[in-house]
Structure 1
């Protein structure tokens, strides 16, 4: 097993072996929980990492012990050089994965195969075309759904990510689970989380307990099977007896998994975030362009990582706008 360099180990002895890299702040959807209605101020093109810079930074992390890299956005596949980035990163001794909205996925399936990328996460917050249009502000439901079916047919491991918002799509929980009856996919229900401009309200959140209550009201307890969670897994995993697929719940708010967190995030403009909830960032790109080592910056950022949710260790703190509104919009962090 690959040894993790001490610079990737924080003060709580958590080893960071998973790096999520945002390729772009741009997206071809406008999801309400991700992007403010008025849009965002994009970083100048010159501030965005080139494919060579992405590779160099990624290789540094892999050399120190990172074993998994997931590419995110915005929408990563809107980058014109996305195929080049995938091909370059595929040369590293690391598991490579992708999170996408699948709008243009059909153009990239062969590249994904050639790069040995098997694990694809697709964002899909409603199975209703009109609701999809309302939450994404775009009319691409059929395209996305058909691309999910294509991924399954091509043998990819597909996870469908659905952010639940009370009063909007929480009445679709059973519909999503029913997808797993015939499709070998994992549906992951994600608690609505606070970011700049997304009008987060804890009253809109659907908790792990509520999801399980809805599930057990529709299926007998004997049919609901609790699956083993993988090491460092962010989700609690379940399946319905006899169904091909499974479902999971990511409860970052009500049941955080911070004690086993092994994740780091690199934004499209080359800033390292040690926690999704934290507003603190460390600029790797400026140092890299100046020809300096980024190792000490990485080490310092990881040493400063808080024990839980960027220091918001209670729900009361999480509900304080002054704390979570200083963070970026989700689209500029990377999904």
Structure 2
């Protein structure tokens, strides 16, 4: 337990840091919990109830938080959901974020199905990178995983973004028995296109999660098989560090292969992120349902920016080590909230 003196010192620090000394410079902002897909690993329950519109933060409220956080060392903002492009006025909001955080690394996470015809506009607003979820290169399997027959829309969005000069990371949740046989096709996608193809281990997020051992395809197995299909060389990072993905160059290829081993090989020691849910809650750790409410402060006439910042700092000061929570609770429903409500 951190002492009162140490906590006070940390709250007064000019940068965002937690009790383990991890400097947080990455804010994930969920602009909606609504999505036009129903992916089995994200929102599997049939009785999912979206958050009431009145409880969703306004774009102006998001911008207030972002403007307060930028001077504290924030360097990266990820706009996510749900599906962010499903929210009306998103382009205007992105433009305002770019103005509020000039020079900031602002990125978008999307399922790509609503992106058609928008890549050039997004690039014109200053967006330089996008993460596109694509769990299968087969339309039928895509439909089975996502609950929607929208594969071709998602796939074409990758080409559209690349043509617009936007850097693309393709994310596929690794699902044994569903998309593991497609590894050669995914490798070929990375070999022939200048993009990062990343496999994310299926994690037991959500009280009604469908996670189980039969679907779990660990990163070690992915890399072993990929090494048999292509010559891979690990990407070496400098002092600037990197996110949770471990990346490999593909010999003779334009793109790279990556794995995010959130279950088999935690990256908590270097976690540099904080999540803001669409209903105005700060979530310091993906695996913990402990959240700190900002919406009441943002909507109170008596609240000041100082009070908002105090909540932000206190949330970070109590940021836990997620892998310990995972070990304590086992591999089923490590937290009650679903991914679509947390924010990708």
User: TM bucket by the smaller chain?
Assistant: over 0.9
Tell me the residue number matched to 1:267. Answer: 277
Tell me the residue number matched to 1:31. Answer: 39
Question: How far off is 1:313 after superposition?
Answer: 5.0
Question: How far off is 1:62 after superposition?
Answer: 0.9
Tell me the residue number matched to 1:312. Answer: 325
User: In the alignment, does 2:52 pair up with 1:44?
Assistant: yes
Structure 1 counterpart of 2:67, from 59, 63, 69: 59
Tell me the residue number matched to 2:342. Answer: 333
Query: 1:172 is paired with a residue of what secondary structure?
Result: helix
Tell me the residue number matched to 1:182. Answer: 192
What value does the CA root-mean-square deviation take over the aligned residues?
1.6
Normalised TM-score (structure 1): 0.93
Structure 2 counterpart of 1:192, from 172, 197, 202: 202
Q: Equivalent residues in 2 for 1:1-335 (5 A)?
A: 5-6=13-14, 8-91=16-99, 92-93=101-102, 94-196=104-206, 197-219=208-230, 223-229=231-237, 231-291=241-301, 292=303, 293-309=307-323, 311-312=324-325, 314=327, 317-321=329-333, 324-326=334-336, 328-335=337-344
Structure 2 spans left out of the alignment, 5+ residues: 1-11
Query: 1:312 is paired with a residue of what secondary structure?
Result: helix
8 Å CA contact 2:204, 2:332 repeated in 1: no
Query: C-alpha distance in 2, partners of 1:247/1:287?
Result: 43
Residues 72 and 147 (structure 1), Cα distance of their counterparts in 2 relative to 1, 3 Å cut:
same
8 Å CA contact 2:281, 2:293 repeated in 1: yes
Query: C-alpha distance in 1, partners of 2:339/2:257?
Result: 24
Normalised TM-score (structure 2): 0.90
Residues 177 and 83 (structure 1), Cα distance of their counterparts in 2 relative to 1, 3 Å cut:
same
8 Å CA contact 1:87, 1:115 repeated in 2: yes
Question: How far off is 1:203 after superposition?
Answer: 3.9
Structure 1 spans left out of the alignment, 5+ residues: none
8 Å CA contact 1:232, 1:261 repeated in 2: no
8 Å CA contact 1:101, 1:123 repeated in 2: yes
8 Å CA contact 1:180, 1:186 repeated in 2: yes
Per-residue CA shift, 1:61-91, capped at 9, x if unaligned? 1122111101000000001110111011010
Question: How far off is 1:7 after superposition?
Answer: 5.7
